[in-house]
Amino acid sequence: MLRFLFYFMPAVGDIILGVFFFVSAKRMADSGASSYMIGLTMTTWAVFYALTCFIEGFFIKKHNATKFLKASQVIMLLALVGQTFTENLKMQFVWLITTGIGSALFFASFLPVTKLLGKEEALDNMIKDASIYTFSWSFGLAWGPFIAGFVWGLFNASNGWRYSYMIAIALMLCVTAGVFVMSSAVSKHLAQENQDNPTKAALKPAGKSLLEQRSLPDLMLAGWLLQGLGYIALAMMRTYLPDYCTKVLDISTFHQGIIMALISFSQAFTGLACYKAHTWPYRPWTVASVSLLGVIAFLIFATASHWLLYALAAVLFGSFTGVMCFVATFHALVNTEKTPRYVSVNETLVGVGSVLAPMLGGFLATHGGSLAPFYCSLACLLVCGLSYASFTWKTRFLK
């Protein structure tokens, strides 16, 4: 039960990141900044997120993971306080750098820590962990722009964003408390593990589910390709949708918050729906189908103008990203001996995609027209479906 309570922590952590992403991009858009500058907000965060995750992957072990979690809390609180009192738009980038480092330390070490508190590393448990984790952080990320848009809309347009950051600080203090409780639980677990007889543990026969897991192929490369391409579209939309909706469609801040939130809400509940997935991540059909839903979503983004149609497209796109995130997490967890490294690469891909995609969106919008980012994302999702299908074709009849 304690392990499931801890899964609320990434949800709260991503509420905070959702506030950062939305407020930073929206403040830039309101100032009349170019699409490059708007995209640069996420790119700045992402560069340091990716670098920190990559470096962290070489050092994180089960006995030191909680130290990374504690360090992340100090850094994130510093960034939130700094961002709250920053008037100068250019100074936002200093705190986005700090946020990138702090959030990388948190998310790349969280899953290895929670695995220590789990039961037998059997297939069903790995599926449940991947599903709950995807739901948790996606649900949190959904609330970030919703809260920021709602709170900002209640106050003066010029400084209402400050109250969003103040709420984020309060939430960060709750996460910090949870980290210290988790650290205590992990210390007790490791102490108990050291007392156990390793010889008896080695001689204990593996259960049927665990034997089944060990016989499964390692398809992490397929998961990385899916995540890498899919996250280009997702990261691009996190900065380009506020830009496009503000400058072209003149959609209100409140409705923009709803649209951005629906992507992550749909992603969250799609991830939760994968709770009983079993072996379909080794088959091509599901990923190919939800990729087509994403293609339809971008056709709507490119041709519609009413915020309700954009809300529908957000739900369709979120269905794709939910499956994408679940599959990447599942393949990282099911290969238990490689989990810390695989999780680190997963998070590095998130960072790299967030570096390239926002700037790519700004470049396409400037030189290819305002609809070009939507069609680029559409192409990425088509490749996602086809590439994953080709990787999983040989395992399509796996039971």
- pLDDT tens for 175-192 read 999 888 888 877 776 677
pLDDT in tens, 64-94: 878 888 999 999 999 999 988 888 888 889 9
Q: Please enumerate in sequence order all residues whose Cβ is within 8 A of that of 201, keeping only pairs 6 or more positions apart, or say none.
A: none
Q: Please enumerate in sequence order all residues whose Cβ is within 8 A of that of 146, keeping only pairs 6 or more positions apart, or say none.
A: 18, 257, 258, 260, 261
Q: What are the Cα distances from residue 157, in Å, to 138, 185, 249, 252, 283?
A: 27, 44, 19, 12, 49
Q: What are phi and psi of 6, to 5 degrees?
A: -65, -25
pLDDT at residue number 1: 57
Q: How many residues are given for the chain?
A: 399
CATH number belonging to domain 6-190+209-395: 1.20.1250.20
pLDDT at 199 over 70: no
Calpha distance 166→170 (Å, rounded): 7
Calpha distance 251→21 (Å, rounded): 18
pLDDT at 144 over 80: yes
pTM of the model: 0.77
Mean pLDDT over residues 203-218, rounded?
A: 56
Q: What are the Cα distances from residue 383, in Å, to 230, 233, 236, 302, 315?
A: 9, 12, 16, 19, 20
Amino acid at 291: S
Q: What are the Cα distances from residue 360, in Å, to 31, 236, 365, 368?
A: 21, 8, 8, 11
Highest mean predicted confidence (pLDDT) among 198-207, 212-221, 294-303, 350-359: 294-303
- Supply the mean pLDDT for the chain: 83
Q: Are 141 and 88 in contact (CB under 8 A)?
A: no
pLDDT at 299 over 90: yes
- State the pLDDT confidence band at 208, using cuts at 50, 70 and 90: very low
Exposure class string for 127-159: b at 16+ Cβ within 10 A, else e: bbbbbbbbbbbbbbbbbbbbbbbbbbeeeeeee
> What is the end-to-end Cα distance of the chain in Å, rounded?
30
- State the pLDDT confidence band at 3, using cuts at 50, 70 and 90: low
- Better pLDDT: 207 or 317: 317
pLDDT at 371 over 80: yes
CB-count exposure of residue 166 (10 Å: 0-12, 13-18, 19+)? middle
Calpha distance 239→233 (Å, rounded): 11
For the chain, what are the domain ranges? 6-190+209-395
